[in-house]
Structure 1
Amino acid sequence: MHKIVILGGGYTGLSAAVNLAGRVKRRDDVRITVVNAAERFTERLRLHQVASGQRLADLRIPDLLAGTGVEFVCGWVTGVDVEARTVRIDDETVLGYDTLVYALGGVADTGSVPGADDHAHTLNSAQDAAVLARRLATARTVAVCGSGLTGVEAAAEIAEQHPGLDVVLLGRDEPGAAMGPKAKAYLHATLARLGVQVRGGVEITKVLPDSVELAGGESVAADVILWTSGVRVSRLAAALETDERGRIVTDAALRSVSHSDVYVVGDAALVRQGFGVLHGTCQSGMPTGVHAAVSIARELNGKQPKAFRFGYYHTPVSLGRHDAVVQFTKPDGSPRRLSLTGRRATWYKETVSSAPWPTYGQMLKHPRVTSIWPRGGRHTR
């Protein structure tokens, strides 16, 4: 029996699980186990909605995996022994594996600035987002630290759902810095319409309970502080070769360069392409999960895995529930001339960030079709 353990039941982990299940469903010598901290599936793309007080659909991982032959284990991964090929769950259960898929993702890097870990909220989980939602109900001012896409979407959502709040968006870069002129201008105009105060080109040096300190001595007062800047990976990956940010270094087939029986997908992986290192998004994450499934199936059949290839297609950004901007991109992520704004962009964004259940269902029925991605991206085997 070849034992395959997939750590993480998010977008990438479930992409690997359901696609692999479809590929090995006629075999009785393969066992697939998915380990996740909760039964409920976390729509990370929509946690800013939870933070603003909205409720999402109750999607359950065991329901998705029912009838696939995949075993689900609910629990926290507390240890990975890559030499013994074992995983410890809740410090009590030990699972052995022949092939491991590491899909535990990353969290906001609150350790990079003093005080952020102690005083800032994050969108690392549904629970974190729910705590923030309760805090916003009594707040007057909110500082969103990080001007990337997560910060932009969170600031816009909070401002729309809580029009009485003063929302300030802080970051080193201007929001939409990687977009073309038209899309960037629309993004800034919409943030202004929503009342979001944008402070780009600033460096945050310290987070206090009621303020954010900037380089140069300026202080920005805030009742609530949300940290969305940077990503760090769990220390569970320390036994594998990692980069300075804790991401696991992979080979061309997405295997750990230090342990070839470990595939790494999603935010936890350092994946190099011809244009550079992939940045963690669902757009690239789900294809890495499917590629791992394809590669494992090839190895089970005595073949060598092929190199992973990927190109970006778009950058869709929600600006509250009724507005959005979509920047179409070249494979390396640089902007094309084409973009969408307003109602068309809202429909497009809602379509590509919808619940992944239908996509997973198609993977189970047609596991060899790997080129259709509702979240965009171009992936080939």
Structure 2
Amino acid sequence: MGVRRENGHRVVVLGAGYAGTAAAVQLAARVGRRDGVQVTVVDAQERFTERMRLHMTATGQRLAELSVPDLLRGTGARFVRGWVTAVDADARTVRIDDDRVLHYDTLVYGLGGVADTSAVPGAEDHAYTLNSAQDAESLARRLARLGSGTVVVAGSGLTGVESAGEIAERHPELDVVLLGRTEPGAAMSPRAGAYLRAALDRLGVQVRAGAEMVKVLPDAVELAGGESVAADVVLWTSGTRVSPLASAAGLAVDERGRVVTDAALRSVSHPQVFAVGDAASIRQGYGLMHGTCQSGMPTGVHAALSIERVLRGKQPKPFRFGYYHTPVSLGRSDAVVQFTRPDDSPRRICLTGRLAVRYKETVTASPWPSYGRMKKMPASGAFWPRGGRFTRVREAR
């Protein structure tokens, strides 16, 4: 991959989520139309999905309509809309909608994760998810029609907590039950976890920790031991899964189907493939990274920098990342921010209440302005995480 083809070098980016979009915009800004490098972004949607805010969409709140083609305009990158149905890592081809084929010299694999509704019988058929803006909008319409009843949020992780709090605040006429194996906020410091649970209690969310869900029915969730929890609506946020395309393509994957990468985010089996975001199994000194926007965008940026270095005949640098914080919204007027060590373990310090709301709204605001700044930066620059935020820095050439 270290040499350019005489007829140009084709880079295909699969997935226009946080990581894929960061990779595409950063790379296009650095290479543009220079040297015959063509950057192509493939996604099933033209609309950019702010996954961190889908719990707001699910309660009828309107977010800005963000267009990936509009963002790419003027960068030299092109957008192809369609479903990726197959990847041939040996032939270096991508099949789209089963009737189009794209050839690549370098691939950025960023087809991220979705809620794992396959893990429990009935979840696929009877539960809502927040996999896309359309899914969230469908849930919002259902909640608006209910009038009264019970909403079960399955999964007590951060997505479940934010969703339960948002639904309870926006729909006080509904009973909201949060089911999960662990206590909400269990990975936080004692103070932050206690604040989070008190906020859920204030919002009227009924928390059922230690609940093992074994089946989803049209009107209930069955738990291990035979107990059932009545539900007019079930929102599934428990666990994630990734696309099987990487495994089917012959790429080396881990037990969850994520592409196993080397230190520079290249596939260990196919070094012309870079994996980013939730689709990548990335090992750091503290262990495997877990998928968040906080870590996803930096992987996309690093993949772009690495590709640009290889095109210049240089070796890519190792990827290094440490977590900084865990911001959690608790409705629109409350939040908790847990500051963390690089390995994501909690520090003692945290923010709560309105100060946490202001902090979260600042650091987890739409990435669109950052993407826009990437488009305009000089080729010698890069956006890199500093203190949880993206800052323009100069990379040694």
- TM tier relative to shorter chain: over 0.9
1:72 and 2:79 correspond: yes
**Aligned-pair CA distance for 1:243:** 1.6
1:270-316 per-residue CA deviation (whole Å, 9 max, x = no partner) reads 11111111111000000000010010001000011111110000000
Residues 373 and 39 of structure 1, relative CA distance in 2, 3 Å threshold: farther
User: Which residue is 1:370 aligned to?
Assistant: 383
Q: How many residues align?
A: 381
User: Which residue is 1:90 aligned to?
Assistant: 97
Distance 1:379 1:281 in 2: 21
Query: SS of the residue aligned with 1:190?
Result: helix
Distance 1:347 1:314 in 2: 14
Residues 309 and 374 of structure 1, relative CA distance in 2, 3 Å threshold: closer
Moved over 2 A (4+): 364-381
User: Which residue is 1:191 aligned to?
Assistant: 200
User: Which residue is 1:347 aligned to?
Assistant: 358
Percent identity of paired positions between Structure 1 and Structure 2: 71
Of stretches 247-256 and 278-287 in structure 1, the one that deviates more from structure 2 is 247-256
Query: SS of the residue aligned with 1:170?
Result: strand
Superposition map of 1:90-239 within 5 A:
90-139=97-146, 140-238=149-247, 239=249
Residues 226 and 253 of structure 1, relative CA distance in 2, 3 Å threshold: same
1:276 and 2:316 correspond: no
User: Which residue is 1:298 aligned to?
Assistant: 309
**Aligned-pair CA distance for 1:72:** 0.7
Matched residue type, 1:330: R
1:54 and 2:61 correspond: yes
Matched residue type, 1:2: H
Asked whether the equivalents of residues 13 and 289 of structure 1 are also in contact (C-alpha less than 8 Å), the reply is: yes
Distance 1:217 1:378 in 2: 52
User: Which residue is 1:312 aligned to?
Assistant: 323
Asked whether the equivalents of residues 383 and 390 of structure 2 are also in contact (C-alpha less than 8 Å), the reply is: no
Residues 300 and 311 of structure 1, relative CA distance in 2, 3 Å threshold: same
1:139-195 per-residue CA deviation (whole Å, 9 max, x = no partner) reads 311000000000000000011110110000011111011111111111011100100
Distance 1:371 1:101 in 2: 18
Distance 1:300 1:373 in 2: 26
CA RMSD of aligned residues (A): 1.7
1:25 and 2:38 correspond: no
Asked whether the equivalents of residues 353 and 375 of structure 1 are also in contact (C-alpha less than 8 Å), the reply is: no
Asked whether the equivalents of residues 9 and 34 of structure 1 are also in contact (C-alpha less than 8 Å), the reply is: yes
**Aligned-pair CA distance for 1:376:** 4.4
Matched residue type, 2:182: D
Residues 60 and 377 of structure 1, relative CA distance in 2, 3 Å threshold: closer
User: Which residue is 1:322 aligned to?
Assistant: 333
Query: SS of the residue aligned with 2:327?
Result: strand
Structure 2: gaps spanning 5 or more residues: 1-7
Query: SS of the residue aligned with 1:331?
Result: coil
Structure 1: gaps spanning 5 or more residues: none
Distance 1:195 1:375 in 2: 32
Asked whether the equivalents of residues 264 and 318 of structure 2 are also in contact (C-alpha less than 8 Å), the reply is: yes
Matched residue type, 1:141: T
1:350-377 per-residue CA deviation (whole Å, 9 max, x = no partner) reads 1112111111122223362333468549
Residues 351 and 269 of structure 1, relative CA distance in 2, 3 Å threshold: same
Residues 379 and 196 of structure 1, relative CA distance in 2, 3 Å threshold: farther
Of stretches 67-76 and 360-369 in structure 1, the one that deviates more from structure 2 is 360-369
1:184-215 per-residue CA deviation (whole Å, 9 max, x = no partner) reads 11101110010000111221111111111111
1:120-154 per-residue CA deviation (whole Å, 9 max, x = no partner) reads 11100011111111111233110000000000000
Distance 1:289 1:27 in 2: 20
Matched residue type, 1:369: A
1:262 and 2:303 correspond: no
